[in-house]
Amino acid sequence: MGDSTTAGSPGFLSPLEAPPNGRGDSESQYAYWIKKAYPEWTVLNRGVNGERSDEVLARFERHVLSEAGNCVVILAGVNDIYQGASVEFTKKHLLTMYEKAIAAKITAVAATVLPYNTASIGDAEAIHELNNWIANTANRLGILFCDTNLAVRDPRDKDRLFSTTDGLHPDVSGYRKMGQVLAETIARKAKIG
């Protein structure tokens, strides 16, 4: 559940953006790579390009709670920062989604916001602050945490994507890495209980 980095931009339009099955390079979405790792899982891509956390939250009932799935990856906030919203604005909406998932007994995965190559110093600092809060909040609430930012960032510059076609989103190799770390996080929880 999320924005363009869930949808698979720029290479893929999610099923919500291009019904009924999406359009483009299906490997350009982390959902594809989760499904590849665990073919027995049903994995739904509920990403919409350009949405802020409040817009993702507005769809949460329809696209998560009504599906009655076992698990939801929650990845939102980069567009908030990109559009100049405060970190507090994003925290409020993410926390509401985490709490709604907990109340519905759906395993929530709190995923970190990805870097983007045109981020200002202030935007990069906001991403760091938000991601620290995501990690701490996941721990406090007892939900799963996945550092998707770490999976795709340049090891020489934590504020840039390692591999990208547009400077704003991962390329297929980045989505593959995201899918792998998310699948590992979810599978580890499934084995534990």
Which pLDDT tens digit goes with each residue over 9-57?
Answer: 999 999 999 999 999 999 999 999 999 999 999 999 999 999 999 999 9
Give the pLDDT of residue 191. Answer: 62
Residue with tokens 């906030």: 77
Alpha helices in the chain (DSSP H): 4-7, 30-37, 53-58, 60-63, 78-82, 87-103, 121-141, 148-152, 172-192
Q: Tell which residue, 49, 34, 35, has the closest CA to residue 178.
A: 34
The CA distances from residue 156 to 39, 73, 78, 110, 152, in Å, are: 34, 27, 21, 25, 12
Q: Which two tokens stand for residue 71?
A: 């698990």
Q: Tell which residue, 145, 76, 64, 69, has the closest CA to residue 100.
A: 64
Q: pLDDT at residue 2 above 90?
A: yes
* Domain count for the chain: 1
For the domain that residue 150 is a member of, what is the CATH number?
Answer: 3.40.50.1110
Long-range contacts of 68-72 (CB under 8 A, 24+ apart): 68/104, 68/106, 69/42, 69/44, 69/106, 70/106, 70/107, 71/106, 71/107, 71/108, 71/109, 71/186, 71/189, 72/1, 72/101, 72/106, 72/107, 72/108, 72/109
What would the mean pLDDT of 126-133 be, rounded to a whole number?
A: 98
Amino acid (one-letter) located at 174: G
- Provide, rounded to the nearest whole percent, the portion of the chain with pLDDT above 70: 98
- Of the pLDDT bands very low, low, confident and very high (cuts 50, 70, 90), residue 190 is low
- Of the pLDDT bands very low, low, confident and very high (cuts 50, 70, 90), residue 192 is very low
> What pLDDT digit, counting tens, does each position of 66-122 carry?
998 999 999 999 999 999 999 999 999 999 999 999 999 999 999 999 999 999 999
Give the pLDDT of residue 80. Answer: 98
- Of the pLDDT bands very low, low, confident and very high (cuts 50, 70, 90), residue 189 is confident
What would the mean pLDDT of 171-192 be, rounded to a whole number?
A: 91
List the helix and strand counts (H, then E) for the chain.
9, 7
Give the pLDDT of residue 99. Answer: 98
| Residues of the domain holding 186 | 4-192
**Which residues have a Cβ under 8 Å from the Cβ of 37 and sit 6 or more positions away?**
179, 180, 183, 187
Give the pLDDT of residue 193. Answer: 44
